[in-house]
């Protein structure tokens, strides 16, 4: 699985508080902005879970995990994914950054011992979504976009929030459609995103 995975495993300390353990692992890589982002996404996921009758604890935990693999340098992500024998799309080879969603799920399962398939699914597709998404998948996906990790206000925020007033599905669909309509700005068109788009049509 490679030395990077072994390094992450060595830095992980279990205290019984999984969210704190995730933050501690990220802190060991001095990624303060990433810590703030995952906390923001976790907060939004809990809020949406209450609103849309999902499990807030699962949503929050999935959100803490969603970007944990961002401690892996971008130029090493492909090698780590190959070490895990993951299915790797050509788009992910071209743009390895997007592999972080799958790698975060692997870290959650292999290092932190997470076995809950709902949590792992939400982590695994939080960037691209996928066809037939669960409520938890959509909550973590859309929370990550609302509480994005870039400067300024997301250009799609009003669109998403207006549609979330209708339903979780409407808000998620609105963002997926936004991505497809603005595909020229995407580095790659991930197959799962296309499948999600077709599923919502």
For each of the domains in the chain, give its residue range(s) and CATH number, in order of start. Answer: 1-200 (1.10.3210.10)
SS3 per-residue string spanning 101-121: HHHHHHHHHHCCCCCCHHHHH
The alpha carbon dihedral of 179, 109, 86, 99 has a sign of positive
Among 2, 1, 12, smallest CA distance to 114 is for: 12
Percentage of the chain modeled with pLDDT above 70: 99
Q: Full-prediction pTM beyond 0.75?
A: yes
Model confidence over 82-133: pLDDT tens digits? 999 999 999 999 999 999 999 999 999 999 999 999 999 999 999 999 999 9
Model confidence over 63-82: pLDDT tens digits? 999 999 999 999 999 999 99
């Amino acid at each position: 699985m490679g030395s990077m995975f072994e390094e992450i495993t060595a830095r992980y300390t279990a205290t019984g508080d999984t969210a704190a353990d995730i933050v501690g692992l990220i802190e060991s890589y001095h990624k303060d902005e990433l810590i703030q982002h995952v906390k923001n996404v976790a907060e939004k996921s809990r809020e949406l879970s209450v609103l849309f009758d999902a499990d807030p604890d699962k949503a929050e935990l999935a959100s803490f995990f969603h970007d944990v693999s961002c401690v892996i340098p971008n130029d090493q992500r492909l090698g780590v994914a190959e070490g895990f024998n993951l299915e790797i799309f050509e788009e992910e080879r071209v743009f390895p950054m997007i592999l972080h969603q799958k790698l975060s799920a692997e870290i959650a399962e292999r290092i932190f011992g997470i076995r809950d398939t709902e949590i792992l699914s939400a982590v695994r597709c939080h960037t691209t979504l996928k066809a037939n998404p669960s409520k938890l998948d959509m909550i973590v996906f859309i929370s990550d976009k609302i509480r994005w990790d870039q400067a300024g206000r997301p250009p799609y925020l009003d669109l998403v929030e207006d549609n979330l007033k209708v339903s979780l599905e409407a808000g998620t669909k609105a963002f997926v459609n936004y991505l497809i309509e603005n595909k020229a700005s995407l580095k790659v068109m991930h197959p799962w995103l296309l499948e999600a788009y077709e599923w919502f049509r």
